[in-house]
Structure 1
Amino acid sequence: MNMACGTSPLRIGVVGYGHLGQFLVEQLLSEGPGLGLKLEFVWNRNADKLRGVVSDEFILRDLSSFAERQCDVIVEVCHPQIVKEFGVQFLSKSHLMVGSPSALSDPELNRTLRQAAQRHGRTLYVPSGALWGGQDIQRLSDSGALKALFIRMSKHPSCFRLTKDVLSDWSEGEGRRVLFRGSVAELCPLAPNNVNTMAAAAVAAGALGFSGVQGEIVSDTELSDYHVVEVEVTGPDGFSVRTVRRNPAKLGAVTGSATYKSFWNSLLVCKGHGGRVFLC
């Protein structure tokens, strides 16, 4: 592949052109060439959103024809459904960075994608996003010492995109409300666009998996300027670590601003790590 040659740029395809997709495309066009990265295509469910904003040469109108662009890495920042529909196909042709790792909460899809990565010698990259200490969690899990993992995400209610009407009655000034507490496996289908950080934690905690990692989402009208991510790790003999991350975010924003740069840094790692899942 081109990435094996130090003088050839890494060719990147971006699937999704929401706020995060826009940021990555802008970075690829402005900073990418100096870092050995080349934007190969951009796809968006609504192609009209790309017209006049992205040069025609980069617009991919039919996602099923992605292979014609011969990318080294495809970055999905769209929706878990795209991972379900195209993930295996993407891995047959390139490495895949899954920006919607909540899709991996489906055991069958998780297994199928891992098998595809191994079969084709590609890497299934899972970006850390807003998760702090993911590699440390992974090392603890790999050593067999991870006993429990809990992660809480608190946001202003306008920042949640839920599949059920559990927040349809919120009002300003109501304060804090716990929306769900349980396994991340149960939580991902409820809030597929909000809990990718939890999904990344479940990937890191491979010994526990999505069913073993516990999560909680909290609506808080006081959080008008940032999201809060709290992680509690439990190991043997009383070992524990608790981290609290405040991620600046505008009202209504699904993704905190600091996470954008985290995704970009994750993309810089995606240069091939064999047929496996890799937290980046």
Structure 2
Amino acid sequence: MATQRRIGIVGFGKIGKYLFENIKDRDDFEIVFVWNRSTSAMDGIVPPNLVLDDLSKFASRNADLIIEVAHPCISDQYGADFISSADYFVGSPTALADAHVEKKLRDGAIKHGLYIPSGALWGGQDIQKMADRGTLQGLKITMTKHPDAFRLESPLKEVNETVLEPTVLYDGPVKDLCPLAPNNVNTMAAACMMAHNLGFEKVQGCIASDPNAREYHLIQIDVIGPGDASAGKAFTVSTTRKSPASYKAVTSNATYVSFFSSVLRAQGQGAGVHLC
């Protein structure tokens, strides 16, 4: 019988709960801890012996893979410690827009794997291959959602609250967008990690608020590869992903399944940074 992969889950919101319910009865996984800022969210769902009250004591549970689905601040506070003892799955990669956090985790991925879920990123591994070869010249991700599906910080929050027609809220470097929309642009952050020759400063992000987008999230990815871009002779790829989403939902319906699929793939790739 194959050895079970020991899993720790950090965060028990909608995605954390979904992962717990889909992992707990599998033969190839064993959940060894679940942590949440509010333990009451786990009452009657997570067995008491699996509840970790103090996240700083995570190492006592000997997890093989630690899955963060809580908040970007977790990677800042605990990410380097996590990856020093286990593979680390960063469910909130907007944390990596902070160059200090990104460096800590990249530097720490010398023994264990740093896994970045692909989420709504289509063609991420192709982007990474181009970045590895140095042929990736440009990357832009445009995300369109209903105004109520955004969870934004000031000043975008106030602008979004007044939207009555399709409106671009931000168009610029992903690095500056991540702190303004930490719950909405994880797909962009994942793209920046794959497009490592451009990084968070050169990958462009655009978010548009559209009152008509009540039943879907729309993501467009535009890639510029080798060739003379100024003369219009460069290699280009554009993809559009229209994902059904419940009204006001920050996360599309497909994201839950995508996250679970990413967890299944977050193994066996050794040290380094991996899209899963």
Q: TM bucket by the smaller chain?
A: over 0.9
TM-score, scaled relative to structure 1: 0.93
SS at match of 1:217: strand
Amino acid at match of 1:24: L
C-alpha separation in 2, matches of 1:58 and 1:246: 37
Q: Deviations over 1:147-204 (max 9, x none)?
A: 1000001111111111214333656981211111100111111111110000001111
Partners of 2:132 and 2:101 lie apart in 1 by: 22
The counterpart of 2:76, out of the listed 77, 80, 84, is: 84
Residue in structure 1 matched with residue 18 of structure 2 by the alignment: 23
| Corresponding letter in the other structure for 2:244 | P
| 1:50 partnered with 2:63 | no
1:130 to 120, 126, 134: 120
CA–CA separation in structure 1 for the residues paired with 2:156 and 2:59: 40
Match of 1:3 in 2: none
Matched, 1:219 2:214: no
Match of 1:38 in 2: 30
Does 1:265 find its partner at 2:257?
no
Counterpart amino acid of residue 271 in structure 2 = G
Q: How does 1:181-196 map to 2 (within 5 A)?
A: 181-196=171-186
**Partners of 2:7 and 2:169 in 1: CA distance:** 37
Deviations 1:191-243 (A, max 9, x none): 11110000001111111111110000111111111111100001123211100
Q: Percent same amino acid at aligned positions? A: 46
Q: CA RMSD in A?
A: 1.5
Where has structure 1 moved over 6 Å in runs of 4 or more? none
Provide structure 1 residue ranges, at least 5 long, that are not aligned to the other structure.
1-5
Q: Specify which of 6, 15, 36 is matched with residue 11 of structure 1.
A: 6
The amino acid of 1:49's aligned partner reads: A
Match of 2:193 in 1: 203
Match of 1:148 among 130, 138, 150: 138
Which SS does the other structure have where 2:178 is aligned? helix
SS in 2 for 1:190: coil
